[in-house]
Homo-oligomer: A and B are copies of this chain.
């Protein structure tokens, strides 16, 4: 949750004057997304999300993110569609920040996903990968191997205060992944943060995918591995193989997996677990005050990592056949 930048009514009215979406009716700061300021905007033309991009999002990446949402929405992915102003621009400035208006998606995220949700999510993920395959812009994944090493160096001096031996575990895992990280897998645009918070369901169907601000170019199967981490573990950190099976089968209905992707799944799952373990650990150790965002427990991902370390093949995640 986050409202970092407040918007005055005068500034907002001036900003909206550049758009063809009718007069301002109301604006409510909403608790969605942790990187940016989000408002629910009501105008004569309906409901929209107004996002002010905060410092954690690089301004140079915004054309990629907004262009991607437009590209995906055009190809039938139910994601927010950036609204262009009268000058044809999707990106403007408001309250001293880069700002954009996107369409509002109905639906609710589920707090306790069931296997049926995992199946729908998998299919939507495969469809997203297919729809993004001809997107012409690219963005490197800053949170892959090299990024993990930087995060490790940042967290290392105090990691053992969070859990004894954590520093050595992280160092060993980084070394393992550097040696075993796959190359040459099918790659393209991935969402890279498709947690249950970012997926809406309505009337028993998946109704929307949001928050594309980690999207980048990487292996498609790595995105699937992120979802295995985010959707298929129970609160006690046990892996629910029924959910894993539903997720993988759902994915394969939209985009089949190549043998090399299947083989790499355990190591990709390890990498995905390490990525969230490291970012959460750095946030956890960040003692700067005034955090409006509730910190997430890094230990959840240490437990997930331990599961992946003992997995021997994609069958351990529910792959059949």
Closest B residue to A293 using CB positions: B292
A106 touches B3 (CB 8 A): no
B-chain residues with CB within 8 Å of residue A107 when the two chains form the complex? 25-26
B292 touches A108 (CB 8 A): no
A108 touches B29 (CB 8 A): no
Nearest 6 Cβ contacts at the A-B interface: A29-B31, A3-B31, A28-B30, A25-B106, A8-B111, A9-B108
User: Chain B nearest CB: distance from A234 CB in Å?
Assistant: 16
A142 at the interface (CB under 8 A from B): no
A-B contact pairs, 16 of them (CB 8 A): A1-B3, A1-B31, A1-B292, A3-B31, A6-B111, A9-B111, A9-B201, A23-B203, A25-B106, A26-B106, A27-B108, A28-B32, A29-B30, A29-B31, A42-B106, A292-B292
Closest B residue to A290 using CB positions: B294
Alpha-carbon distance between A26 and B109 when the two chains are bound, in angstroms: 9
A25 touches B110 (CB 8 A): no
- Contacts of A9-31 to chain B: CB distance below 8 A: 9-10, 12, 23-31
Alpha-carbon distance between A104 and B28 when the two chains are bound, in angstroms: 11
Chain B CB within 10 Å — which of A26, A30, A201 has the most? A26
Interface residues of A, count at CB 8 A: 33
A110 touches B9 (CB 8 A): yes
B-chain residues with CB within 8 Å of residue A202 when the two chains form the complex? 25-26
- Contacts of A103-117 to chain B: CB distance below 8 A: 104-112
User: Chain B nearest CB: distance from A111 CB in Å?
Assistant: 5
B-chain residues with CB within 8 Å of residue A30 when the two chains form the complex? 28-31, 40
B-chain residues with CB within 8 Å of residue A148 when the two chains form the complex? none
A200 at the interface (CB under 8 A from B): yes
Alpha-carbon distance between A108 and B10 when the two chains are bound, in angstroms: 10
User: Chain B nearest CB: distance from A191 CB in Å?
Assistant: 20
User: Chain B nearest CB: distance from A316 CB in Å?
Assistant: 29
Out of B26, B110, B203, B292, which one reaches A200, CB within 8 Å? B26
- Contacts of A83-110 to chain B: CB distance below 8 A: 104-110
B8 touches A29 (CB 8 A): no
